[in-house]
Amino acid sequence: MDAGEEVARLWAELPVRVDWAGVAVQCAWVWARVRGLVIVPAVRLLVFLSLAMTVMILLEKLFVCAVCLAVRAFRLKPERRYRWEPIAATAVGDEESGTGGATHPMVLVQIPMYNEREVYKLSIGAACALEWPSDRFVIQVLDDSTDSVVKDLVEMECQRWKNKGINIKYEVRGNRKGYKAGALKEGLKHDNVKDCKYIAMFDADFQPESDFLLRTIPFLVHNPLEICKF
C-alpha cells in the first residue's frame, strides 16, 4: 500500500466527519443574527442622524432667510449701533513724514513663524506695508524656526525692512513651549510693546490688506464699551 492509499484509509477512519452543508447553515444563521442585531440598527442610526442633520441645516437656512427679510423689512443697519469714523490726522501728526501723533493709538502686530521658508517674505512685507503711522505701530516677528538657514533668512528680511525705517523686531526664544501661541504670549513680555493698546496677530501664511488697520482700529477706538461686551 502506497502513502496515498494509507492517508485515504486513515482519513476514512477518522471518527469526526465535517458536515459542510451544516456548516453553511450555521454560518448563514450567524450572519442573520449579526445583521439583525448589529448592522441593521447601525444603519438605522446613521439614517436617523443624516435626517436630523438635514433638518438642522434646513432650519438654519430658514432662520437666515427670516433674519435677512427682517433686516430688509425694518431697514436695520448695524451702523446705527456701532460707530465707525476714520481717525483724523491732527496738527501733532505729519502725514508726509508718516507720524500720526496722539490720535493714532499704538498697535502691536505679531507674526509667529516656524520654518516658513516659502511665505516669510510675503508675510513680513504685507505687515510692513500696513497703512498706519510708522511711529505708532510695532511689528514683532516671533521666530521659532528650527532650521538655522530659515532663521537667518527671516532675520535678514527683518533687518532689510528695519533699514527702511519700519519699527520691526526680530524675536527668538530658547524653547518652543506652547508653540505659536506660546511665542505670541512671550512676545507680550518685551518692553517694546508696553505702550501698545491694540494687538493684531497674523499667521505666517496670511497677508493682510494694506488698509486693515485703517478699517479695524477706528471701530475699536470708537466703540470701547461695545467691544467689552463680547
In Å, what is the CA distance from 130 to each residue of 88, 107, 210, 211, 212?
A: 17, 11, 4, 6, 7
Q: Is residue 37 part of a domain?
A: yes
149 plus 189 within the same structural domain: yes
Give pLDDT, residue 93: 45
Give pLDDT, residue 122: 95
106 plus 56 within the same structural domain: no
Q: Is residue 93 part of a domain?
A: no
Q: Which domain holds residue 50?
A: 1-76
Question: Cα separation of 128 and 157, whole Å?
Answer: 11
Which portions of the chain are predicted below pLDDT 70? 1-4, 7-8, 10-18, 20, 78-82, 89-102, 225-230
Give pLDDT, residue 76: 77
pTM above 0.85, yes or no: no
Give pLDDT, residue 91: 40
Long-range CB contacts (< 8 A, 24+ apart) of 84-93? 84/218, 84/219, 84/222, 85/218, 85/222, 86/214, 86/218, 87/214, 87/217, 87/218, 87/221, 93/133
115 plus 225 within the same structural domain: yes
Give pLDDT, residue 154: 96
Give pLDDT, residue 230: 46
114 plus 223 within the same structural domain: yes
Give pLDDT, residue 15: 59
In the block, which residue shows the cell 448589529?
38
149 plus 225 within the same structural domain: yes
